[in-house]
Amino acid sequence: MSIRNLIAVISVAILLAAMVPASAQKITKVRPTEIDDVLNNPGIGFTTFQRFNGDKLNKKGWTEGMPIDYQEFDGNLKNEGYPDTSIAYLRIYWRYIEPEMGKYNFELLDKALATAQQRGQTLMLRIAPYGQVREDSKNRKKDVPEWYREMVGKKTEWLTDGTGWTVDAEDPRYAKYFSDMVRAIGNRYDGHPALELVDLSIVGFWGEGRGSAILTPKTRAALVNAYTDTFKKTPLVMLLTDETTNKYGLSQANVGWRVDCIGDMGFWAKTQDGWTHMFDYYPQGIINFGMKDAWKKAPINLEICGTFTSWKQREGYDKDDVKYIFNETLKWHISSFNAKSSPVPEEWKPLVDEWLKKMGYRFVLRRFTHPDVVRPNGKLDFTTWWDNKGVAPCYKNFLLALRLKNDERTEILVTDANIKTWMPGDNLYDDAVFLPLDMPTGEYNIQIGIVDRFSYEPKVKLAIAGREPDGWYQLGKIKVQD
């Protein structure tokens, strides 16, 4: 063979080698080890109520609707007798948000949001229009704002018609001024990184919606639209109140739902002809009010009826009762639970732990594949198989990212995965990311994480082994070479 022919053969061989498809490269398959830990993750699990991580639990009466009485913080985020949480729930009356007409107490909300962030939490917010106040009461701390009471008069409608209205919701001034307040809050805080969700509260004691079914369409629309028109980024939830109001809310936005009496299997049954929330209202209302599939787009937040202590001591619930209640909430796709910052009985903690492992989302990376070698400016193809072992998706706009790291270089490679679509069960996501042109050659650790879209810091704990101190998960090694 002549030299010229030999050179041609070698050239063709080199060219063919360069044209070998990525599918012919050696591929590494990683099957991470699943773990069984309780994971404290953003947007799911228990909430603190009128408190924050590290505060003392509730031992006395409720402070619902009142400004937070901030406790001295010693730096310890643990909650004695209560699970770790990622959410703080603030329920505040309108009068404290708008003490003067058109002048809003943003400082109250700013402080609550900042404190939540400092304690590793986000803030769930309900601004309730009023509490239960009689005309002859001298204690107006639960009433509508003073300026509004002076405007509409002293009469408290609930005394006569039983609707649960402290003021006439059909007085056009109510929809105007309450809606103006909601819009002001939405315009200032929608999309705030520390605002977890907003409870779409419109009427009734404590904002629980009593009487919403008899609102006129005009009033209902004005009150609901105040939320749906201004909260476009922060999720909304609305109480399970009535078919007309709930279906109207869903027609305006992706709205989740919540209820305030999970666990009522007979609290008032003797005086209400056997009627209970768990057997006679929630299962029926979820379907009849059109909320059955709301969880696919927006979160479900549930609140305990009474406390765990009253379940045990007054109602006499045993472990089977508690397990039944928990299983019902999982069937309804719960993401978060307000236990009112009241302690969990020691003997029920194992049940609570198992519940927490299923509440919301729980991501197990079952399989990950990647090439052994990739070049600078080259394409890193990968495949993933995720098992969401929770009962709901993640509703946050987090990013899935890979990280290549060695002593010389750390490079974060962000994907366009939409983790909000990862429903319970199996989810596949296969894609490719490109390495930078100046990526140094060498061996790298290849890691994975679900990260904040701005800081690229890991935010979600996965139910697999291999978590590094900075939150990334080690998957193996990969070489970068020309």
What residues contact residue 129 under an 8 Å CB cut-off, 6+ apart? Answer: 93, 94, 144, 166, 167, 178, 201, 202, 203, 204, 207
Q: Cβ–Cβ contacts within 10 Å for residue 92, how many?
A: 22
- Write down the pLDDT at residue 133: 77
pTM of the model: 0.92
Decide if 140 contacts 133 (C-beta within 8 A).
Answer: yes
Closest CA to 41 of 87, 7, 99, 95: 87
Write the Ramachandran bin of 234: left for phi over 0, alpha for psi from -120 to 50, otherwise beta: beta
The whole-angstrom separation of Cα 65 and Cα 208 is 12
The whole-angstrom separation of Cα 377 and Cα 413 is 12
Strand order in the sheet with 379-388: 27-30, 363-371, 379-388, 425-434
From the candidate CATH numbers 1.10.4160, 1.10.3120, 2.60.40, 1.10.10, the one assigned to the domain spanning 20-36+362-480: 2.60.40
Work out whether the CA dihedral 140, 144, 147, 148 comes out positive or negative. negative
Closest CA to 297 of 333, 336, 248, 351: 333
Closest CA to 357 of 90, 39, 64: 39
Q: Which residues pair with 427 in a beta bridge?
A: 386
Strand order in the sheet with 442-451: 373-374, 473-480, 442-451, 399-405, 410-414
Counting Cβ atoms within 10 Å, is residue 431 exposed (0-12), middle (13-18) or buried (19+)? middle
Q: How far is CA 220 from the centre of its chain?
A: 26
Domain ranges of the chain: 20-36+362-480, 45-356
- Write down the pLDDT at residue 5: 46
- Write down the pLDDT at residue 155: 81
Q: Average pLDDT across each block of 10 residues of the chain; the chain has 482 residues. List them in order.
A: 44 40 75 98 97 88 86 94 96 97 98 98 97 73 94 77 81 97 98 97 93 95 98 97 97 97 92 93 97 97 95 95 98 97 95 98 98 97 98 98 97 98 98 97 98 97 98 98 92
Q: Cβ–Cβ contacts within 10 Å for residue 196, how many?
A: 26
- The alpha carbon torsion through 146, 148, 152, 156 (nearest 10 deg) reads -60
The whole-angstrom separation of Cα 7 and Cα 3 is 6
| CATH architecture for residues 45-356 | Alpha-Beta Barrel (3.20)
Residue-level length of the chain: 482
